[in-house]
Structure formats: C-alpha cells, structure tokens
Structure 1
Amino acid sequence: MSKTLRLLTLTATGLALVAPQLHPSAQPAADPAEATYQEIAITGPSVAAETKPFAMVGVTWPVGVKDVHAKVRIKQGGQWTDWQPLHIEDGHGPDTPEGNPGTEPLWVGDATGIQASATDTAGTTVKGAKVTLIQPGVLPSDTAEATEPQSVESAASRAPYPMPNVWSRKRWGADERLRNINKGCSRPKYTKTVMAAFVHHTADRNDYTRAQVPAMIRATYAYHVKTRGWCDLGYNFLVDRFGRAFEGRYGGAQLPVLGAHTESFNGNSFGVSLIGNFDKVAPPASMLEATARVIAWKLDANYRSPTSSIVLARHRVNTISGHRDTKATACPGQQLYAKLPWLKQRVQKLMGGTVSTPIYRFAKTVGFRSLGQPFWGEHKTRTGWATYFGTRDVFYSVSTGAHSTAGVFRQRYRRMGPDTGLGLPTTEVHNGRVAGTRVQSFRDGGFYWAKPYGVRPVTGLIYRKYVAIGAERSRLGVPVTDLYKVKGGLRQKFQHGWLTYHAHRRTVLVQYRSGS
C-alpha cells in the first residue's frame, strides 16, 4: 500500500471518510505494508472514531491562533483511555514560513481509535485544527544493537573528545525523500560554527521499549515535516533512556547544521533532545551520560568551554543551556533542567579541561579573526587531524606540524582530499622563487600556482624529479596540467616541457620543448 494522506473528519455524528488523495511525499515507505499517515480535521465536538492502527499522535492549528488547549484519548487493546492533554510545542522555530503551530507529538505505541479536542480559552473548537496519526512501521534494524566500543574518558593532553557511537539517519530508517516535501528544504542549511548546546525533552512518555525508539524517531520526523511543515526533524541529536544517541537533522553530524529547536537561538548552536517527559521524573544516568558525550564531542571539536557563556541572538546564555533559558517554557522539564550543572561538569571532565591541541594553538597564534570560526570542528583524518575554519583549513600530524590551506589552494586541496596524493601541508602558502608564482609544500608533493594555469599539484616521483632540477626555477617552468595517463605510465606538462614517469622502470624522463 502506498503512503497516502487520508483526510478524515470527526463530527458529532461520526467519522466521515473523504476520498483519499496522494500526499506530496507519497512514495513507497521502507515498509509500505505498515507505514501510514493520516490527518483528521477537528470540526466540532468529536466522537470516538475507529481508525487504522497508529503509534504517534499530534494536533495542529492555523497560524495566529493563541492559547490552544489540545487533548486526545485513544483506543488500545479494545478499550478507550482517559483524556490526556498534549504539550504545546515550545517554539522550536520552524524553517519555513508555512510552518504550522501545534503540540509535541505523543507516542502511544499501538492504537486503533482516536477522539480529539482542540479549543481556545473560551472552550470553542479551533477552526482548522487537525489531529495527525502516524504509523511508522517496523524495520528489521529497529532491534539492532551497537557493537562499537565507546570511549569513556579523555585525557587533558589528547586531541578532542572522540565522536561517541551515534545511530546514523540511515540506521534508524530516515526516509530522505521527506525532505523534498516542503519548499526550499531539499538541501540542509548550515550556520557558521557551533557555540552552544541546547538541551530539550520531547515531552513524550517514558515507558517506551528499546525496539520502539527508531520508530518513534521516524514518526517524529514525519510529524515535523508533513504536519508541522518544517524542513526536517527539528533536533540535531536525540538520546533515549537506554543511553543511545541518534543523529537527528540531515546534513552531517560533524557540521554546524541549522536545526529547528530553539527559535532565534538556532543559529550557531545545536539541539539535543532527550526522549521522554522530565517534568516530574528525572532522566536515568545512562541517558545523561550519553547526552554528556554528544555535547563533549561537539563542544571540544569547536573549542568551546562547557562552563562559560556566549552571546547568541543578542542575549548572553550558557554554553550548555536548557530550552527554558531562552523563553518561558517548561522544556526540558524541571527534573532534567536541575541536572544541567552536573551535565556541565561531566562534559568538562570528558573534554579533559583546557583545550590544548596543536591546531588550537596554531589558530590562537594566527588569530581567529584571520581564520574565522570552526566550521567542521577538529576531527581525525587517516593521516592526522584537521579543522575547517571559515577562511582556512588547518591540518596537523606529528611529522608535518600544523599548517593551513587558504584561497584557491584550499579549494583545490578540498577537491583532492587530505588523505590522497599530496599528504598534509608542511608549509604555508608563500611566494615562489619566480615572480608571479605561489607555492605550498606538502609531505608528498607540492602546489604550484601561476595566473594563466591556476593551482596544479605535483606529486610522487615526478615531484621528486621536479624539485631535484629546480622546480619552478628550472627550464621546465611551472606545471600547466595535472598528471595524466600515457602508455606505460604518467605524464605532466609544464610551460617548457614534460616529465614522464615510466612505471616499468620506475624512472622519470625530462623532456624540453625545442627552443626552450
């Protein structure tokens, strides 16, 4: 069965089924036999209605309506539950102008009937209100468990706290086609850097099982996109009560992806939401520990102190803050909010105290005004470490030291990749020994630039030969092409000749143009 939007109407006389219409996202689900999405218009005092099975419910209403009171009751196991109020979503900040106000979604597990109410302060039914029912289906991967070991502590002298085990979007079953539903949402948006972490709770239930969590995230993803009109799942990360972390919003967990979690504070921050309701119940220790590891990894990579404060959206906030620190809201729940001091100290311990990596020391020497802020925080590569700043990329290994790439050199090096061909840089970009040239040396080669030819890499045995004969000062001049294949080997063209590598003999032949 394809995923369709079934528009239903709950009225005082019963349940009226309108002809099904194809939803913009109507494409085969990961498990089309089980995944469904339904919207029900609340047009008056609703009656109990039988529905297809669903596992998550939420209520929305038109923009501009204030002080809505929403509640639902559901049918489970043949019995109707009592009425249950839904938490009003606390202003995460929609990505798109057409975003709809609504409640937090509520996981109900397995239900086959719904009765919903959405009224204003006068008790009048809100015109245009809808209740959404989502059945995310069950995937074989939902019961999979991690086998990768996790780091527990970080010594003060080592590089940034390593990335903890995080379930990727692919692993929890994200349907990436959903991101094409709302206008302008197919590509992720990025901010300049990561300066702060905002802690949330989903205001959901706390008695879910391990196997239900991936489905809960898939359902929340569908609710945020289809029902709320957002670009994607609002949070950058989620953590369950079993101590497992999950990648939320698409775009690269390592990068400063713009989320929809804390309204005007979304820029230059990330949101991590603990799955559950912590107004009256404290989050378990395993959940807090997993949250601390995610925050430690993100803050340490971007050189932020977990115990300091920064300015965001013209307000000073702590580097680790709760959602309620930015507006009048109960999120992340009083019991979780009370744990923030512990969380800050735990993150500080995991990070090992003061930032002291070679890349950070290089950045302080050069100056962040020159480098810009970290965009892709310090991370391990195959041959060393790297941090991509706003205007330069800095690389480090024990053998090469810390050096940066900038401008057209950075662009070309990014296209090649730091782990292939050239190796890591061993110098900064500098003037060549011939007027009008710029040069940068790498462990296994070099970049040479001249205005007519752009940046050209020279590597391997051809590079060694080129340096041996004088490089840019030689009769050959600067390179005008990259390496290209010829019969029996490789060749590179220069201003006044060629260098040819013969694979069989492992030798490099120098050839000059006639008259050069």
Structure 2
Amino acid sequence: MSTFSRLLPLGVTVVSLVLPTLQHQAAEIEPSYQELSLDGPSVAVETKPFAMVGITWPVGVQAVQAKVRVQQNGQWSDWESLTVEDEHGPDPSVPEGIERSGTEPLWVSNATGVQASALTSDGTSVADAKVVLIQPGVLAGDSFEPPDAQASASGTPYPMPAMASRKQWGADERLRSHNGAACARPKYTQTVMAAFVHHTADRNDYSRTQVAAMVRGMYAYHVKSRGWCDVGYNFLVDRFGRVFEGRYGGAQLPVLGAHTGSFNTNSFGIALIGNFEKAGPTQAMLEKTARVIAWKFDAYYRSPKSTVVLGGTKLLSISGHRDTKATACPGAQLYKQLPWLRHRVDVLMGGSVATPIYRFALKLGLRAVGPPFWGEHRTRTGWATYFAHRDIFYSVATGPHSTVGMFRSRYRSLGAERSRLGLPTTEVYKMTGGSRQRYQHGWLNYNQSRRTITVQYRSSP
C-alpha cells in the first residue's frame, strides 16, 4: 500500500495507476479508452497517457462524492472534486441497463497516472464504480477558426453562426452505434421552444488547439461511459467564442438531445466549456452563445423574453439547467448572466419576429400550419419553413406561398424548390374535377376521380 493510501480515511476506495513515462509528439498520440474498477483495495496498473478522466457508477446510487488527482511529469496534482451530474439523459433508444450515472468528465491534458475515489454520503465505497481514462488523440484539423457570420438583412432570420461541424472536430460517427443500431438514427422533437444553458464543469485554462479533442473526449465519455446515444448537448461554445456542433442530426433541425433530463423534448442544450461556479465566462463565450440562441429562436419564431411549458413546468424560454432541478449547472457566475443573455438575444433578433414567412403563417393561422419543424432557412432561391402541416416558401419574385397535403408530399418528392417547377406562386385552388397549384415553371394537378397528382411543366421551364 502506498504512503498516500495509508493516509486516507477508513472506507475510502482508491485506484492508483502508476504509468510509464512516454515521449510522444502530439500528432503521434492515438485515441484510447479504458475503464478501471474502483472496487476493492488500491491497485497499480500501467496504461497509455490520457487527457480526460471521469467516474461512473450504477444508476440509482445517490449522493456520491467523487474526486481524482493525476500524475503529470512525475508529480501528483492536488485532489480535485468532480462534478456529479445525473440529470442529462437518458436517451430513449438506449437498451435498459446500459446507462450509468457519473461525474462530468475532467480535462487533464496529458497525464500518466491517476488516483480516484467514489464514496456515498455515509462514507462507504460505491459498488461497481469505474474510473474512465480517455485519450481523444490529436488530429491535424484540431485548429478551428471560423469567420464571423454577417448580420441578417431586414426581413430575414438572424444568420446561423459559423461553427465547427462534427466532421471538423473529428467525430467518429461509428461510435453512435455503440449502444445499439437504434442510437445511430437521430431522434427529432416537434419544434424548438426553449434553450437550456449548461456548463461542462470542466477547467477553464484550455488552449485553442485542445478544444476539438475535449469535445471528442466528451463524446466518447457520454457514449461509452454514460451509455447515451451521442454527445448530450446540441451545441458547445469554448472560451474563445467558437461554436461546435454537438449531437448528430442537423444543426438546423430540432434534434432530441440528452442535456436536461425530462425537458429535452422541444428544446436544445447549449453548453459553455468550462466551470463557471466561481469564475465567470468570457465575453466572447456569452456573445457567441447569444448568437446561437438568436439564430435558433428567430428561425423558430420564439421570443427570448417569453415563457413556455415543458414537462408540465412553466419556464423562461432561455433557462439554466438549475431551473429544472437541484443542480449547480450552469454555475453561479454563468447563471447570473442569463438576464443579459435574454436581452442580448432580443437585440440581435431586432426585438420581434417579422419575416414574410412568419407573417404569412399568421395569416393562415398558426394552428393551421402547426409548429415549425425545420425553422426558417435559406434555400437555393429564397427562404422556407417546414411546419407540421404546411411548408411555406418565399422569394422576392414569388412572395410567400404554402404547400399542403398531397401537394406538399409530391412537391417534396420532386425536390421542392430545387425541382424544375421552381417555387409556388399560388395556393392550392379548385378547378373542374379537382384542384391545382401553380409554380414558377409549371403546375401540380389533382384529379379528384382518379385521386392522383400529375406534374405539368411549361414548354420552356
């Protein structure tokens, strides 16, 4: 038993990993993942260098206190408490028994040893606890410097901020099948009604070139260690004000995440990378977070100053994780910035939603069109919003018009606005024996007796 282990209070279970000192060039570090049992007496194991550490245990164990210290360059760090967070998932596609509770993962950059403990509130060791060591590796594209998006023109939604795609930050898409084939297919909710702000409870002193690896590490931890389908958040923002696409399925769509427990439906989660319980987020982080929310809210016609009802609970449309349960997330210093964030989003959106598509939806009746599923987005020739019951298209040349029912289905099958028909120039109207809708370069004709829709193009489309 080590000298350190003899000094621990009775009942503390510690795993002590003493690792060989290895010389690596950063580009030569390969990804690796290892889980080690925290059960029983202290053990010593050799393993590869790692950059992220976390602790997990079976679902249902309450009030766990977890901590680690790591060995770097032959020296042991001080003990550091890990943030315990159980209210992100679960994912509905994960088979029963796979999900585990656990801490948030902690970025340690380059460590060659770890000591860890996990205790219940009465000081006893947590059964079947595991310490997770992740080396996300280093990729040539780990530097990401996106240009700032241009301000939106009058009458158009706030623009999508530049962000690192999953491909750019190096997501291994095979990992989404780790917990079953059903996980590989993204799940969608009906619309976007709210944004939940989180922090990752990680450290705040990371470098620009480390962030992509940190996101890869979180991805591996959420899937392999916690038993989720994918990284839990829809978006992540680093301290330099850069955005990273989170959960797979399309940043523009209402992808179901695993970020706020029972409130994941019809919301999205945006996590600021760092720990903001004592330190405050950078202004660059706050500004880019506001821009992401402004883009999503403007596209889905939501007000940053409104209230919504999710899971039977009335909440502000921009809320912190702690608004849904007893948790420190997103940290006291970030939480107190939420009023500023709501005001900033409102300013970026121009104080109201006023696009031609939204005004047309109001004219048709919001109940008739249904909630927006694919929020207002730029198309090849104009703009479009796919609502639950209608798709509305707009261009300066055609004005706003909608497709509905069989006309919508056929138009989509032809490629919608990318088809030879072009954009709709009328609503569906009745004619002898059926109905018709006119497009820039032709018509869709419905024959009532045959119950079929035919396509008619102009002679010179």
For the residues of structure 1 that align with 2:295 and 2:194, how far apart are their CA atoms? 12
8 A contact 2:18–2:112 mirrored in 1: no
Superposed displacement of residue 90, structure 1: 4.4
Superposed displacement of residue 274, structure 1: 0.1
Superposed displacement of residue 452, structure 1: 3.7
Superposed displacement of residue 128, structure 1: 0.5
Query: Secondary structure of the equivalent of 2:70?
Result: strand
Equivalent residues in 2 for 1:67-466 (5 A)?
Answer: 67-95=63-91, 96=94, 97=96, 98-146=98-146, 148-151=147-150, 153-154=151-152, 157-183=154-180, 184-417=182-415, 418-432=417-431, 434-435=432-433, 437-450=434-447, 452=450, 454-461=452-459
Deviations 1:78-120 (A, max 9, x none): 1111211110014112103431110000000001111111111
AA aligned to 1:316 is: K
Superposed displacement of residue 51, structure 1: 2.5
The aligned residue for residue 489 of structure 1 is none
Superposed displacement of residue 48, structure 1: 5.6
Superposed displacement of residue 420, structure 1: 2.8
Deviations 1:236-271 (A, max 9, x none): 000000000010000000000000001111000000
Unaligned runs of at least 5 residues, structure 2:
1-11, 20-26
Superposed displacement of residue 122, structure 1: 2.1
> Larger relative contact order (C-alpha < 8 A, sep ≥ 6)?
2
Q: RMSD of aligned C-alpha atoms?
A: 2.1
Deviations 1:179-228 (A, max 9, x none): 11113211000000000000000000000000000000001000000110
Q: 1:299 to 1:144 in 2, by over 3 A?
A: closer
The aligned residue for residue 477 of structure 1 is none
8 A contact 2:83–2:104 mirrored in 1: yes
The aligned residue for residue 7 of structure 2 is none
Deviations 1:363-419 (A, max 9, x none): 111111111100001111111110000011000112211111111211121222212
Q: 1:322 to 1:13 in 2, by over 3 A?
A: closer
AA aligned to 1:429 is: V
Among 34, 42, 46, which residue is 2:38 paired with? 42
Percent of aligned pairs with the same amino acid: 63
AA aligned to 1:58 is: G
Query: Secondary structure of the equivalent of 2:209?
Result: coil
Query: Secondary structure of the equivalent of 2:279?
Result: coil
Superposed displacement of residue 16, structure 1: 12
For the residues of structure 2 that align with 1:219 and 1:90, how far apart are their CA atoms? 18
For the residues of structure 1 that align with 2:18 and 2:339, how far apart are their CA atoms? 52
For the residues of structure 1 that align with 2:44 and 2:18, how far apart are their CA atoms? 12
The aligned residue for residue 3 of structure 1 is none
For the residues of structure 2 that align with 1:103 and 1:12, how far apart are their CA atoms? 16
For the residues of structure 1 that align with 2:85 and 2:414, how far apart are their CA atoms? 45
8 A contact 2:242–2:288 mirrored in 1: yes
For the residues of structure 2 that align with 1:68 and 1:180, how far apart are their CA atoms? 30
8 A contact 1:42–1:129 mirrored in 2: yes
Q: 1:281 to 1:408 in 2, by over 3 A?
A: same
Superposed displacement of residue 458, structure 1: 2.1
AA aligned to 2:218 is: T
AA aligned to 1:439 is: R
Superposed displacement of residue 45, structure 1: 4.2
Task: With the length of structure 1 as denominator, give the TM-score of the two structures.
Answer: 0.81
Superposed displacement of residue 448, structure 1: 1.5
For the residues of structure 1 that align with 2:46 and 2:115, how far apart are their CA atoms? 9
For the residues of structure 1 that align with 2:346 and 2:144, how far apart are their CA atoms? 31
8 A contact 2:195–2:319 mirrored in 1: yes
8 A contact 2:87–2:261 mirrored in 1: yes
Query: Secondary structure of the equivalent of 1:400?
Result: coil
The aligned residue for residue 54 of structure 1 is 50
Q: 1:460 to 1:138 in 2, by over 3 A?
A: farther
Superposed displacement of residue 459, structure 1: 2.2
AA aligned to 2:441 is: D
Between 131-140 and 78-87, report the one with greater CA deviation: 78-87
AA aligned to 1:68 is: V
8 A contact 1:11–1:47 mirrored in 2: no
For the residues of structure 2 that align with 1:350 and 1:15, how far apart are their CA atoms? 50
AA aligned to 1:260 is: A
8 A contact 2:369–2:389 mirrored in 1: yes
Q: 1:462 to 1:72 in 2, by over 3 A?
A: same
Higher CA-based Rg: 1
Deviations 1:302-349 (A, max 9, x none): 000001111111111001100011111100000000111111111011
Unaligned runs of at least 5 residues, structure 1:
1-9, 18-30, 464-516
AA aligned to 1:159 is: T
AA aligned to 1:138 is: V
Query: Secondary structure of the equivalent of 2:284?
Result: helix
For the residues of structure 1 that align with 2:228 and 2:458, how far apart are their CA atoms? 49
Q: 1:134 to 1:12 in 2, by over 3 A?
A: closer
Superposed displacement of residue 453, structure 1: 6.8
For the residues of structure 2 that align with 1:302 and 1:367, how far apart are their CA atoms? 16
Between 193-202 and 79-88, report the one with greater CA deviation: 79-88
8 A contact 1:45–1:117 mirrored in 2: no
Query: Secondary structure of the equivalent of 1:61?
Result: strand
Query: Secondary structure of the equivalent of 1:219?
Result: helix
Query: Secondary structure of the equivalent of 1:324?
Result: helix
Task: With the length of structure 2 as denominator, give the TM-score of the two structures.
Answer: 0.91
Query: Secondary structure of the equivalent of 1:121?
Result: coil
Query: Secondary structure of the equivalent of 2:403?
Result: strand
8 A contact 1:49–1:115 mirrored in 2: no
Q: 1:295 to 1:229 in 2, by over 3 A?
A: same
The aligned residue for residue 8 of structure 2 is none
